[in-house]
A and B are shown apart, each in its own frame.
Chain A
Amino acid sequence: MKKNIALYAENLTKIYNLEGVKVRALDGVTFSIPKNQVTAIIGPSGSGKSTLLHLIGCLDKPTSGKIYIGSTDTSKLTDKELAKLRNEKIGFVFQFFNLHPLLTAVENVELPETIKGVGEEQRREKALKLLKQVGLEERAFHYPNQLSGGEQQRTAIARALINNPEIILADEPTGNLDTKSGHEIMQLLINLKKNATVVVVTHDLDIARHAEHIVRLRDGKIEYADGFKKKLL
């Protein structure tokens, strides 16, 4: 695999069995994601965007095909190794933030480090630093239900960054935010590309304009990948 490729998917197929009916969510998808760039996965609703994100984030397993993260063939990893990979190499940002409701903002940011087994003092220092970076140092000890949508998403971004991941996967990160907050969040994500590869799933073409690389899906298949950005948008 080329050195400037962060992730490579080869002939990915995902078939769901919904009460006896087989639904082909992805059908032979092959593409690569360049390192330290923002890639947008776009497509209409039901095109397989979220399924693809779950597969490349190792949250789900493909029916067939392979995913390489760096040089690691994820199909050969055990559940435990996949968990370690998610913990150390991937940072997730979800549409509905997915913060733990019983933990404060700083505890949520610490969570990947807590799972990793890092000591309290060390992880707290790191988490507070990240909250400061996303402008939430004042809100560190507030619970998710005390934060606005934008603040929750910024907390989620800080959480995604705490383990210095190679890839940040964002699933409709602005989908639940107002325009202003959405723009701020996108700016934050774009700024992350200095240290990580950013993959954003969105159906919003305005958001996709921020990306340098596009993967467009339709009916579970790749319509465009790379190089067609201007034409596409």
Chain B
Amino acid sequence: MRFKDSLKFALHNLTTRGLRSWLTIIGVIMGVAAIVAIVSVGQGMQQVISSQLGALGSDQVYVLPGGSISSNIMSGLGAKAPGELTDKDLKVIESVEGVIVAAPDIIGMETVSFMGDSNKFYIWGTNEQWVKVREASVSMESGRFLSEGDRGVAVLGYEAAKETFDKEVSLGSQIKIGNESYKVIGIMNSIGGLGGAQEDKAVFLSLEDAEKYSGVFGIDNYYAIEIKVEQERVEEIAEKIKEKLMNARHVTEDKIDFSVYTPKMIVSVVSSVLTTINLFLYGIAAISLIVGAVGIANTMFTSVTERTRQIGILKALGMTNKDVMNLFLVESALIGLVGGILGIFFGFLISGIIGQVASVFLASSRVGGVSMVYVSPELILFSLAFSVVIGIISGIFPARRAASLEPVEALRYE
């Protein structure tokens, strides 16, 4: 039998049992749509985070107190990690060959008031070197950044200045942090990022001023040291920084009390977390597709039973087992194909809605120029091929049952 005729037969059978066919197809649509939506959001997130991490600067190295990720997380939450980073460590780092510039960070949180309106803000203490380290992503909207010897002055992130208070903060304004007044000398441009960058919501002070609001962190216990290094040798220089700091702090590898991160390492950690999350979501999507596949198998088994007599007629007229099998496989593949096409369409639609919802929550569905949802051509092709394969696999057992029917038995079937 020619493929064209098998296809015609399959279409005929599917359209005759319209409602049942559509209900089966809906099962496939849901599975494929779930996969497309989840994968597109997952891929979008991966791209956004990659671009965000890229914006951190591929020439940056970070040194944090504590020798493990968990202690770094604790320190991020304001807890004291074992091992303190001080000015002495900063000097050691600056002396490493390949280091261009380094800046210390201390971070706390405090209520900031402006013209009677109060909000909680990150208080970010650093020095004049910080803008040089962050050269790639930070620029001033107005005014200037901190200089050596600055006291009683503040630089505000874009969101802190423009979008938090009832009235916009401008250059020369006086803000109150706790009980002390600070003059605003600079406002930074927005860095952007997923959910907005921390820096956009921060008030930058000199280390000495920020120390008052930063809890366990201070001039003798930095939150982190940010370092700009020669771009071509980031990993090598990071290794050198680690060695020199270990020597200076008299610690061995097994008792190391600080951590050195490069963007590559951060990307790898974040990517592995994202991959785990994505795998979990793919698992859920795969389950819904399996449900769709069971639906196809169920429909096809019912179809074989209902069409037993027809199969008998076809076999009596000379149809081979292989042709009978092909007839059912083409039918189940068609269910998969139609379900796949519509599933991709709906998946695309759902991911678009997710993008829109994200835009409401995150002010933009495009973070740093990268869309939060990304439907790749590979994803479309894969989903289509996958749904057809699922259709065929689901149809194999019913088709084999149809093919194995003895003509005389099939003809006797009532």
Task: Report the Cα distance A92→B316, complex, angstroms.
Answer: 8
Stretch at the interface among A27-35, A52-60, A146-154, A216-224: A52-60
- Complex formed: what's the CA distance from A210 to B408 in Å? 27
Cβ-defined contact, A102 with B16, below 8 A: yes
**Contact in complex: B316, A59 (CB < 8 Å):** yes
Beyond A60-B407, A114-B1, whether A98 also contacts B318 by CB under 8 A is no
B408 touches A117 (CB 8 A): no
Within 8 Å of chain A (Cβ to Cβ): is B194?
A: no
Whether the Cβ atoms of B407 and A115 lie closer than 8 Å is no
Whether a CB of chain A sits under 8 angstroms from the CB of B171 is no
Does A100 sit at the interface, judged by CB under 8 A?
yes
With the chains together, A112 CA to B2 CA distance in Å?
12
Counting chain A residues whose Cβ lies within 8 A of the other chain, the interface size class is: 20 to 34
Measured between beta carbons, the chain B residues less than 8 angstroms from A84 are 318, 320
* Smallest beta-carbon distance A145→chain B, Å: 13
- Whether B318 pairs with A115 at a CB distance below 8 angstroms is yes
Contacts of A111 in B (CB 8 A): 313-314, 317
A85-B316 Cα distance, complex, nearest whole Å: 10
Within 8 A of A (CB), among B317-366: 317-323
Q: How many A-B contacts if CB must be within 8 Å?
A: 70
Say yes or no: is B246 at the interface (Cβ < 8 Å to chain A). no
Q: Kindly provide the distance from the CB of A131 to the nearest chain B CB, expressed in whole angstroms.
A: 17
Cβ–Cβ contact B318 & A59, under 8 A: no
- Alpha-carbon distance between A138 and B227 when the two chains are bound, in angstroms: 91
Asked whether, in the complex, the Cβ of A115 is within 8 Å of the Cβ of B309, the reply is: no
Interface positions, chain B 1-58, Cβ under 8 Å from A, are 1-2, 5, 12-13, 16
Q: How far is the CB of B228 from chain A (nearest CB, A)?
A: 73
Chain A residues within 8 Å of B309, by CB: 98
Give residues 381-400 of B contacting A (CB, 8 Å).
none
Do residues B313 and A98 form an inter-chain contact, with CB atoms below 8 A?
yes
Contact B407 A117 (CB under 8 A): no
CA distance A79 to B315 in the complex (A): 10
Which residues of A sit under 8 angstroms from B12, Cβ to Cβ? Answer: 102-103
Which residue of B309, B317, B319, B322 has the most chain A CB atoms within 10 A of its CB atom?
A: B317
Nearest 3 CB-CB pairings of A with B = A87-B318, A60-B408, A59-B408
Q: List A residues at the B interface (Cβ < 8 Å).
A: 54, 57, 59-60, 79-80, 83-88, 92, 94, 98-103, 111-112, 114-117, 159, 163
What would 6 more interface pairs be, CB under 8 Å, given A114-B1, A117-B2?
Answer: A59-B411, A87-B317, A101-B310, A112-B318, A116-B1, A117-B1
Subset of 16 A-B contacts with CB under 8 Å = A57-B316, A59-B407, A80-B321, A80-B322, A83-B315, A84-B320, A87-B318, A87-B319, A99-B313, A100-B310, A101-B310, A102-B16, A114-B1, A115-B319, A116-B318, A117-B2
